[in-house]
Amino acid sequence: MTKPEFRFADRKDSELILKFIKDLAEYEKMSDLVVATEEQLEEEIFGKKKAEVLFVMEDGLEVGFALFFHNFSTFLGRAGLYLEALFVLPDFRGKGYGKATLKKLAQIAVERGCGRFEWWCLDWNKPSIDFYLSRGAEPMS
């Protein structure tokens, strides 16, 4: 694997973000549920700053993305980092980009003083569940 590079999305990336969302939805067999628009994403992510997007790159090409935001733990009294979506394009899977992205997000959570780093996974998605478990994730019921 080439050492992955990362970059945060900016306003000009709204079209690319929507493409990754649609690719993820297709993978999850939920394409019919995507109603987001480029304009909506631009306003929510960059205007209102409700979420952030991190791209993982290979040779200058965006090959995956992670969409995340901060939540809050009342018991910890601290913000957490919540991973809403992680997706690597099929042709680039198995190269360590998912692992590298999780590691980068964990680093961001630590740098920002987050008390937790959380996400959920569809219960039928065994490849993703196995991936997360292999990274030391602890399932919650």
Element (H, E) at 73: strand 61-73
The greatest distance separating any two alpha carbons of the chain, rounded to the nearest whole angstrom, comes to: 42
Q: Are 122 and 24 in contact (CB under 8 A)?
A: no
Residue 82 among the catalytic residues: no
- Among the listed residues 27, 82, 97, 132, the single catalytic one is 132
Which residues, other chains included, contact 50 with Cβ-Cβ below 8 Å and sequence gap of 6+? 44, 69
Classify 111 as helix, strand or coil.
Answer: helix
Rg (Cα) of the chain, in Å, rounded? 15
- Name the residues annotated as catalytic: 132
